[in-house]
Amino acid sequence: MGFDRLLFADFQPLALIATTPTGAQRLQPLNQLPATTLWVSESLSQIEGVQTYSGSLSEHLANIWPDCKSLVFCLATGAVIRLIAPLLQDKSCDPAVVVVDEAGKFVISLCSGHQGKADRLAQLVARQIGATPVITGASASLGLPGIDVLGVPFGWNRGTGDWTKVSAAIARGELVRVIQEAGSTLWQSHLPETHPFDFGVPEEAIAPQARVWISHQQVKSRRGAKHCARTKVKSQDSTIPEVRWHPRVLWVGMGCERGTSRKLIAAAIQQVCQANDLAEDAIAGIATIDIKADEAGILELCGERCWHLRTFPAEILRTVEVPNPSTVVEAEVGTPSVAEAAAICAAGDVSQIQPSLPTPLPWERGAAGGVRAEECWQADLGLDRSPTLKPVQGRLLVSKQIFCFDTEDRLIQNPKSKIQNRQGAVTVAIAQSQLEYTGRKGSLWLVGTGPGKLEQMTPAAQTAITAADAVIGYSLYIDLISPLLRPGQIVEALPITQERQRAERAIALAKWGLTVAVVSSGDCGIYGMAGLVLEELQRSGWDGKTPSVEVFPGITALQAAAARVGAPLMHDFCAISLSDLLTPWEVIEKRLIAAAQADFVTALYNPRSQTRTQQIVTVQQIFLQYRHPSTPVAIVRSAYRSDEEIAISTLEKFLDLPIDMLTTVIIGNQSSRTHADWIITPRGYNSWSSFTDCD
C-alpha cells in the first residue's frame, strides 16, 4: 500500500460508493487507502470496512460532495449522472467522478477529467483492478495533453482565459498559436506528430483560431512579445479566445523594516507587478537576507500565496553586482543591496532548490521551434535594466522600489522622505529565472517492466508508468510499454549504450520536481537501471529523501526463462552476466568456477554478443569439469515476446544452438533432469521422504 498511498494522495478525500455487495467488493481494494471511505446503504452494513448512510443516496451525496476531492462509483453510469447532476457547478471546482462497472471491466472518467483529474484517477483505478480506462475527452483521443492541465507538471499557475473555447478549438483541430515567453518548452517536444499548435509562424501568414500564452506577464500588455519578431500581435487578435499559463519564474527580492505588515508587502508587490505588466501568478517566491527569515509579514504572505521563501547571507549578497547599491544599507546589514541582490541570487540559483537544471537533449532542441524565454530576453522588455548587469541566469526585471503607506494608508512609492506609519517600509525588486520553480518534490520511480508482454508486468509497475510525468528508458522497452503511456507525458527513449546519460537525465528532471519513471526490462535491480540511478544520486550528495525514490520489482529474465521450461530453478541458483564491459573477465571466470563447483543452477545473462563469442565456450569448458555432459541446459530467447524461441539441450551440445544477447541460458545442477519438453530440478522432497520412510 505504501506506493498506492503516494499515487492516490492527489485524490483524497476519496469517496467510494456502491449499492450492491458485488459493487462494494469491486471497490474494496481502494478502500485500503487513507482518507478514503466506502459508502454503502444500511442494508449492506455487514460488509467489512464500510460506512453506511441512511436515507437516500442523493441526499447522502449532497452531504459529502463539498468535502470530497474524488468519487468512485460502482453503479450504472446513467444512475450516477442523475445523482450528481444537481451537484455539479463548474469544472474548475467539481470533484473527479469515476464510474466502475460491476464486472470490473471498465473504469469511466465521467466528470472533471482534467482539472479534477478524473482521467488520471480512472487510469490509476483501471490499472489497480485490471480494467480498461475509458477516457472520452477530446484531447485524450487526439493524444494531446488537456490545455487546462498543460502546466501542472511544471508547477505553472493557470491564469485567466476562455478555457472551454480554446479546448474546443484544439478538439476541432483548428490552428492554435502558442506564445511561450517563459518556462520550460519541454512539453512542445513531446506532442504527437500531428497537433494543432503553431509556435512561431507569423500570424499574417495563417490566422490562428485560438491562442495560448505561456508567460510571466499579465494580460494587459505584452510588450515583451511585441518586440519579439516572431510573435507580432495584430489588433484583431483580441477577438479570438485565449488562455494564459504562468510559469513561476519571478523572484521578488525584498528588504524591509522590522515589523513591516503583510498588507504593505502585498500591496507593494501588487503595485510593482501592475506597473511592469508582470503576473503575480508567475511569482515563485520571495528572496531576502537571512536575518529576515523570521519576518512575520513575509512569512504570512508566503504561506498564504504558496510562495517559496529564500534567504541569503550578507556575504553572498554582497558579491552580486546590482544597479542600485546603497552605502546606508551596507553600513546597516553588511551588503550594499538586499532586494536586488537577493532577487538575482534566487533567480539565478534555482539549483539550490532544484539542482541540475534539465537541459534539452540534443535531439530535442528546436524540435517544435517554440519561442523560448531566452529569445524574448534578447528583445527589449522595456523594463529597468542596468547595462553593467550580467547575471548568469537570474535577470533583474525591476530594479528596487521603496514603498510605504502614508498616514492614511495610501501606498506611496519611493517616498522622498521617511513617513511614519506603523506598517513599516519595504523595498521590492524582481528578477526572472530561466527555469521555472515547480514547487514540487520530485520522485524517481525505478520500474521493472518484466520480460516483454504487459501481462507479465506488475499492476504497480504499470500504474507507475501511467502516473509518471516523465518516462525514460531504452527505446525497445519504451515501445513495449507504449500502451501504458498517456498524452502529455515526457517520454525520452535513449539509445542502449547511454545508461549513464539516462540516469543523469532522470535525476535532473526529478530534482526539478517531476515524477520520473526510469524503465528497465525484467527487474530494474538486476543488471538494470536501479543501481546506476542510486549510485549517481549518492554521488550527487542525495539526502535519501529528495527526490524520493521507489523501486518497482519486475519479473527478471531468469524467472521468465525458467517458467518457459518448467522448474529448473527449484534449488539454489545464481545469476552470472557474461558481459565484461563493466566487470573484468577474470572476476566473471572466478564466479563461474565457484558456481560450477558449488553445484548452483546457473543462469547466464548477456551470454553472447556479436563480438564477444568466446566467453560462452569457456563457460561450457568450466561446467563440464564439474557436471555431467548430459546436464540439461535451457536456451530461452525473447521470453514472452512475439519472437520467443525456446530450446532444451545439454551441457555437451548447447553451443550448437543460436545464442545471442536476447537469450538467457540456464544450466541445470547435478540433479536436474528433463521430462518431455520440461526441465525439473528436484527440490529434494522425494529423497527426503524416502529418507524418513527408512527412518
Give the residue with the Cβ less far from ligand SAH, 326 or 664.
Answer: 664
Q: Least distance (Å) from ligand SAH to the CB of residue 657?
A: 14
Residue of the chain from 110, 344, 526, 562 that contacts ligand SAH (CB under 6 A): 526
Cβ neighbourhood burial of 402 (10 Å; 0-12, 13-18, 19+): middle
Q: What distance in Å separates the CA atoms of residue 56 and residue 487, rounded to the nearest whole number?
A: 39
442 lies in the site for ligand SAH, by CB under 6 A: no
Q: Least distance (Å) from ligand SAH to the CB of residue 305?
A: 45
How many CA atoms does the CB half-sphere of 455 hold within 13 Å? 4
Q: Least distance (Å) from ligand SAH to the CB of residue 465?
A: 16
Residue of the chain from 605, 654, 667, 669 that contacts ligand SAH (CB under 6 A): 605
556 lies in the site for ligand SAH, by CB under 6 A: yes
Pairing of strands 210-214, 197-198: unpaired
Q: What distance in Å separates the CA atoms of residue 202 and residue 182, rounded to the nearest whole number?
A: 19
Residue 304: count of CB within 10 angstroms of its CB: 10
Residues 55-94 binding ligand SAH (CB under 6 A) are none
Give the residue with the Cβ less far from ligand SAH, 325 or 531.
Answer: 531
Give the residue with the Cβ less far from ligand SAH, 33 or 659.
Answer: 659
602 lies in the site for ligand SAH, by CB under 6 A: no
Give the residue with the Cβ less far from ligand SAH, 332 or 660.
Answer: 660
Q: Least distance (Å) from ligand SAH to the CB of residue 678?
A: 18
* H or E stretch at 478: helix 475-480
Residues 617-656 binding ligand SAH (CB under 6 A) are 636-641
Task: State the sign of the Cα–Cα–Cα–Cα dihedral 140, 141, 143, 147.
Answer: negative
Residue of the chain from 320, 560, 569, 592 that contacts ligand SAH (CB under 6 A): 560
664 lies in the site for ligand SAH, by CB under 6 A: yes
Q: Least distance (Å) from ligand SAH to the CB of residue 471?
A: 17
Give the residue with the Cβ less far from ligand SAH, 209 or 663.
Answer: 663
| Helix, strand, coil percent values for the chain (each to nearest 5) | 35, 25, 40
Q: Is 648 helix (H, G, I), strand (E, B) or coil?
A: strand
Q: Which residue stretch of 248-256, 517-525, 624-632, 686-694 sits at the interface with ligand SAH (rule: CB under 6 A)?
A: 517-525
Q: Least distance (Å) from ligand SAH to the CB of residue 638?
A: 5
Residue of the chain from 288, 523, 565, 571 that contacts ligand SAH (CB under 6 A): 523
Q: Least distance (Å) from ligand SAH to the CB of residue 550?
A: 17
Residue of the chain from 663, 672, 674, 681 that contacts ligand SAH (CB under 6 A): 663
557 lies in the site for ligand SAH, by CB under 6 A: yes
Residue of the chain from 527, 600, 623, 654 that contacts ligand SAH (CB under 6 A): 527
Give the residue with the Cβ less far from ligand SAH, 338 or 446.
Answer: 446
- Return the CA Rg of the chain: 31
Cβ 226 vs Cβ 405: under 8 Å: no
- Nearest alpha-carbon partner for 440 in 540, 348, 535, 512: 512
Residue 41 pairs in a beta bridge with: 53
Tally of residues, the chain = 695
Residue of the chain from 134, 317, 346, 561 that contacts ligand SAH (CB under 6 A): 561
Peptide bond into 336 cis (omega under 30): no
Q: Which residue stretch of 307-315, 396-404, 557-565, 670-678 sits at the interface with ligand SAH (rule: CB under 6 A)?
A: 557-565
Q: What distance in Å separates the CA atoms of residue 320 and residue 343, rounded to the nearest whole number?
A: 10
Residue of the chain from 81, 142, 661, 680 that contacts ligand SAH (CB under 6 A): 661
Give the residue with the Cβ less far from ligand SAH, 570 or 636.
Answer: 636
Task: State the sign of the Cα–Cα–Cα–Cα dihedral 682, 687, 689, 692.
Answer: negative
Chain position carrying cell 512475439: 642
Classify the phi-psi angles of 356: left when phi > 0, otherwise alpha if psi is within -120 to 50, otherwise beta.
left
335 lies in the site for ligand SAH, by CB under 6 A: no
Q: What distance in Å separates the CA atoms of residue 176 and residue 142, rounded to the nearest whole number?
A: 14
Residue 516 pairs in a beta bridge with: 444, 470
Q: Least distance (Å) from ligand SAH to the CB of residue 446?
A: 11
Q: Is 633 helix (H, G, I), strand (E, B) or coil?
A: strand
Q: Least distance (Å) from ligand SAH to the CB of residue 208?
A: 47
154 lies in the site for ligand SAH, by CB under 6 A: no
DSSP state of 520: E
Q: What distance in Å separates the CA atoms of residue 235 and residue 204, rounded to the nearest whole number?
A: 12
Residue of the chain from 215, 432, 520, 674 that contacts ligand SAH (CB under 6 A): 520
Per-residue H/E/C for 574-629: EEEECCCCCCCHHHHHHHHHHHHHCCCEEEEECCCCCCCCCHHHHHHHHHHHHCCC
Q: Which residue stretch of 68-76, 228-236, 463-471, 515-523 sits at the interface with ligand SAH (rule: CB under 6 A)?
A: 515-523
Residues 445-504 binding ligand SAH (CB under 6 A) are 451-452
Q: What distance in Å separates the CA atoms of residue 393 and residue 4, rounded to the nearest whole number?
A: 38
Q: Which residue is nearest to ligand SAH (CB)?
A: 522
Task: State the sign of the Cα–Cα–Cα–Cα dihedral 333, 337, 340, 345.
Answer: negative
Q: Least distance (Å) from ligand SAH to the CB of residue 544?
A: 24
Whole-number Cα distances in Å, 56 to 106, 246, 277: 26, 44, 52
Residue of the chain from 115, 276, 515, 606 that contacts ligand SAH (CB under 6 A): 606
Q: Least distance (Å) from ligand SAH to the CB of residue 324?
A: 58
Residue 283 pairs in a beta bridge with: 250
Q: Which residue stretch of 47-55, 219-227, 659-667, 686-694 sits at the interface with ligand SAH (rule: CB under 6 A)?
A: 659-667
Q: What distance in Å separates the CA atoms of residue 563 and residue 548, rounded to the nearest whole number?
A: 34
Size of the site for ligand SAH (CB under 6 A): 26
List of residues contacting ligand SAH (CB under 6 A)? 451-452, 520-523, 526-528, 556-557, 560-561, 605-607, 636-641, 661-664
